[in-house]
Chains A and B, each alone.
Chain A
Amino acid sequence: MRSYLLGTLDRDLKTQFEERILTEPSVYQELLIDEEDLIDQYVRGELSAFEQEQFESHFLITAERQKNLRFGKLLQEYVNFHIEESPVPVHSFSFLHKPVRRWASLGLVAAIFSAAGIIIVRGFVNRREAACVVQQTPSRVMTVTLAPGSAGTQGSTAQRVNLPPYGVDVTLELELRNSTFRNYKSELFRENKSLKISDALRIEAKGEQRVVPFTVTGEILSPGDYQVKLSGVLDSGADEFIDNYSFRVIE
């Protein structure tokens, strides 16, 4: 179904599948749900570079799907904001209303926070000698501020970042010179291979500096050189390149 949506399904299979869309209600229903899921994966930068290309060139062909993409981005923006502002109240889930499981769950949450605390403290000690501005926040996220510039993508001029401990995410704060987009898109590369794309990013003020925070999971980083491409997202959904950023992950 994913191949069908991205326009990569073999012609004969496509014809067979289209007949099923018309005659089997469950196939049609599944297609609608898969469309939504695909949009969310695109918005969250979970598609591969090839899938992303197909998504933009084939999937987004109709106004209806473009509208659905706008909705997906809007929703993600809302969720990002509200998750950061106030974590989702776990008590709202019915399973937590059962007394025994509730206490067990609370214990588990406490254990996770304790473990995260140990990891963060260890990570903080290990990173004291870091060569760049690295700030450890208490929420299992390590923040790294990157200045723009396409030069120095390799070698000694690349900004250095310590390898994050297991379970710690890295927020790359991409400094901006002048930019007035509503949404931004970032793509992380290593040796020209795309590792992660994030869409619907918003600009934030950091003192007098303006940055676009781009969070990646620590697990995808290993020692080596990385590049980040930052683009502004036009209202039409198209991208406009802004700048490149580079950093080197060290042990």
Chain B
Amino acid sequence: MNKNWSLSQEAFDALLDWLDSDRELAGIKYEQIRSRLVKIFTGRGCIDPEELADETINRVTSKLTEIQQEFTGDRARYFFGVANKVHLEYLRRKTPQPQSAPTDSVRAELEYHCLERCIARLSEEDRVLLLKDYGAKGQTQAERRKALADELGISLNALRIRVYRIRTALKECIEKCIQDSL
């Protein structure tokens, strides 16, 4: 890929068209592919997975005219092939990375304050579920979850998804609270 190549709006629109003729669905597919590429690069131990995911997408976009003529099948798979090449190049140029900056105590206090605020905003049912999911001492996560799923009369998987959603909402709330406070 030409190193000076950058993703223009026109090129991005062409990528979306290739992913799906429905623009809304194309946008969703784009986000899905990007977030999954980030996970794959993370799983490979890359320090900056987001940058590598963007590089992968840029490369696919820059070759789109050729790809459209030659490639058939699940488009997500094409990204996987390009991601492998991007990863190989990353390994060749990889340099030691500095440790992440420590969290200062002021920020740590702010995070805790925001956590308290955000937990208070949860519904009573969600708050209790979260506390129960984390709370029981002397039990492993698996034991706790099984007991809790039995208690609620739902499957273990349904419970995991429910807890995951509560956590995700909580994290988003905390992020927003921190941004608003800084």
A residues adjacent to B (C-beta < 8 A): 4-5, 7, 14, 18-19, 21-23, 25, 28-29, 31-33, 36-37, 40-41, 44, 46, 58, 61-66, 68, 70-71, 74-79, 82-83, 88-89, 92-95, 169, 182, 215, 217, 234-236, 238
In chain B, what residue has the closest Cβ to A34?
Answer: B160
Check A21–B47 contact: CB distance below 8 A: no
Check B135–A88 contact: CB distance below 8 A: yes
Q: How many A-B residue pairs have CB under 8 A?
A: 127
Check B111–A88 contact: CB distance below 8 A: no
Check B128–A44 contact: CB distance below 8 A: no
Where chain B touches its partner, the secondary structure class is helix
- Contact of B146 with A by CB under 8 A: no
In chain B, what residue has the closest Cβ to A29?
Answer: B161
Q: Distance in Å from the Cβ of A197 to the closest Cβ of chain B?
A: 13
User: What's the Cα separation between A160 and B163 when bound, in Å?
Assistant: 41
Check B102–A235 contact: CB distance below 8 A: yes
User: What's the Cα separation between A215 and B135 when bound, in Å?
Assistant: 13
Q: Which residues of B sit under 8 angstroms from A5, Cβ to Cβ?
A: 43
How many B residues touch A, CB cutoff 8 Å? 55
Check B32–A25 contact: CB distance below 8 A: yes
Where chain A touches its partner, the secondary structure class is helix
User: What's the Cα separation between A174 and B37 when bound, in Å?
Assistant: 45
Q: Select which of A23, A25, A78, A217 is within 8 A of B112 by beta carbon.
A: A78
User: What's the Cα separation between A139 and B138 when bound, in Å?
Assistant: 13
User: What's the Cα separation between A183 and B88 when bound, in Å?
Assistant: 39
Enumerate 17 A-B pairs (CB-CB under 8 Å) in ascending A order.
A14-B43, A19-B80, A22-B77, A22-B80, A23-B77, A28-B39, A41-B140, A64-B49, A74-B115, A82-B131, A94-B125, A182-B105, A215-B137, A215-B138, A217-B137, A217-B138, A238-B99
Check B80–A62 contact: CB distance below 8 A: no
